[in-house]
Amino acid sequence: MAKLSDKERAGWVCGLGHGVLKTTPQENVKEFVKRAREVFS
C-alpha cells in the first residue's frame, strides 16, 4: 500500500473489525495501528 500513489489509495479504509479477536495480543494491535499511521499519515 505504501508504494501506491495517493490516487490509487483513495477510498481505502484501514479497519480492525475483521481480524482482531479477543485473544489477539494487544501489542499486535498497537503495532498494526502504529505502522498504518506511519504509512498513511
Q: What are the domain boundaries of the chain?
A: 6-40
Give the pLDDT confidence score for residue 9 in this predicted structure.
Answer: 82
The amino acid at 9 = R
Give the pLDDT confidence score for residue 1 in this predicted structure.
Answer: 75
CB 33 within 8 A of CB 24: no
Give the pLDDT confidence score for residue 6 in this predicted structure.
Answer: 84
One DSSP character per residue, 2-40 reads TTS-HHHHTT-----TTT--TTS-HHHHHHHHHHHHHHH
pLDDT tens-digit series, residues 1-41: 778 888 888 888 888 877 899 999 999 999 988 988 887 77
